[in-house]
Structure 1
Amino acid sequence: MRTLVIGGARSGKSRAAEALLADTAGVTYVATAYPADHDPEWTTRVVAHRARRPATWSTVETLDLAALLTEDGGPLLVDCLTLWLTRVIDRHGGWDDDTWAETAEDAVHDEVDALVAAVAVTPRDVVLVTNEVGQGVVPATASGRRFRDEMGVLNLRAADACGDVLWCIAGRTVRL
């Protein structure tokens, strides 16, 4: 099983992804966000996410998704590709226009290529969560527009590598 669960902010995508694997033991929940200790609101969200997970699930906090996907093991639930891409761009200094053009663009694309290739061949069941970022207001900054575009490309490529795509809207799930 390779499933991409996509939706806007607060659309129910994490809950939908969790429901796909709720009765499965040995799931590894892969958290891609920054640690929550710097932001009380974020800490509250992380605590709520953790409380919903079955006790039989483990959690790994990493950006090295390609390595996890190529290992043998139980199912993976990756939440989420949007935060993963944000952190990858951060790691390569890709928010600055000059850095993007000089070094970050190729480095970010290499990591996206590795991730998509790993999704396509993983021996594990995997559920990927991602945000739909292309249906809102056009971002006012060049870096915001670049992120929207890069996220759109990652979502397209991840969907192509998955056998199933679920779209979450207002807590409802539509199979595409």
Structure 2
Amino acid sequence: MTARPDHSPKPLRVLVLGGTRSGKSAYAESVAQSCSSSLERGRVRYVATGRRDPNDADWQDRIDAHRRRRPHAWETTEIFESLPATLSAEADVTIVDDLGTWLTGVIDDGDAWTLPRGTVAPEGDALVDAVVRCTGTVLLVSPEVGWGVIPSTRSGRLFQDEMGSLNGRLAAVCDRVVLVVAGLPLMLKDTREQAGPTR
């Protein structure tokens, strides 16, 4: 018996980079909306990495604004456990927004702000591995940290170095890497385009 061709969409891994208020989150959300619309019953999972702080009203307002603009049908997961473990759970489309706040939480939890660089690398390795194994489309929103001045504090330099290293490792395994500047997406990498359309 001849096997039927598999027409199910292949997993798509997209890294969306940008500076503060660059429009990277909105771009990732528009791609997720497009991807879910092309599926018969596309389930979108929004993984919010920002930790709520009742003492920071401005931060709370920012989180709530993000939540209000998302479609009501989307499932929102606020991270209180391992991000790699969260990605291992099936979903048609997953947005992680964003990796900067996730990494900050990892460094906080490990009390690693004064420890040597590379201390939190195992958590980054686990995330990269989870992205590689993801069975659905995953959109990773992350800050581009290579354009700013060198921070004046050790903790600032540590974050910049660790974030830049993680972005590089994720870019290597993602199918697409997009840089968003002033709301405009610039395609830095697209292996799907080079390989031609897939069925």
TM-score (norm 2): 0.81
On the 8 A contact 2:99/2:140 being kept in 1, the answer is yes
For 2:178, what is the secondary structure of its paired residue? strand
Return the letter of the residue paired with 2:107. I
Which of 90, 93, 102 pairs up with 1:72?
90
Return the letter of the residue paired with 1:41. D
In the alignment, which residue of structure 1 is the partner of 2:113?
95
Return the letter of the residue paired with 1:4. L
What 5-or-longer segments of structure 1 have no aligned partner? none
Q: Tell me the alpha carbon deviations over residues 144-169 of structure 1, each in whole angstroms, 9 at most, x when there is no partner.
A: 11110110000001111210011010
Q: Tell me the alpha carbon deviations over residues 65-120 of structure 1, each in whole angstroms, 9 at most, x when there is no partner.
A: 21122232321100001111000000000112xxx13xx843x1111110011111
Q: CA deviation at 1:122?
A: 1.0
For 1:114, what is the secondary structure of its paired residue? helix
For 2:126, what is the secondary structure of its paired residue? helix
For 1:138, what is the secondary structure of its paired residue? coil
Return the letter of the residue paired with 1:129. V
* Separation of aligned partners in 2, 1:171 and 1:11: 6
Which of 73, 90, 100 pairs up with 1:82?
100
Which of 19, 27, 46 pairs up with 2:30?
19
For 2:54, what is the secondary structure of its paired residue? helix
The question of 1:121 aligning with 2:138 is answered no
For 1:16, what is the secondary structure of its paired residue? helix
Q: Which is higher, the Rg of structure 1 or of structure 2?
A: 2
* Separation of aligned partners in 2, 1:52 and 1:163: 27
On the 8 A contact 1:94/1:105 being kept in 2, the answer is no
Which runs of structure 1 show a deviation greater than 4 angstroms over 4 or more consecutive aligned residues? none
Which of 164, 186, 192 pairs up with 1:152?
164
User: What is the 5 A alignment of 1:46-65?
Assistant: 46-62=63-79, 63-65=81-83
On the 8 A contact 2:46/2:95 being kept in 1, the answer is yes
TM-score (norm 1): 0.91
Q: CA deviation at 1:7?
A: 0.3
The question of 1:138 aligning with 2:157 is answered no
For 1:22, what is the secondary structure of its paired residue? helix
Greater percentage in helix: 1
Aligned residues: 170
The question of 1:3 aligning with 2:49 is answered no
Q: Tell me the alpha carbon deviations over residues 108-146 of structure 1, each in whole angstroms, 9 at most, x when there is no partner.
A: 111111001111121121000000111111001122111
Shifted more, 28-37 versus 5-14: the winner is: 28-37
What 5-or-longer segments of structure 2 have no aligned partner? 1-11, 37-41, 189-199
> Percent of aligned pairs with the same residue?
45
In the alignment, which residue of structure 1 is the partner of 2:177?
165
Shifted more, 51-60 versus 18-27: the winner is: 18-27
The question of 1:38 aligning with 2:55 is answered yes
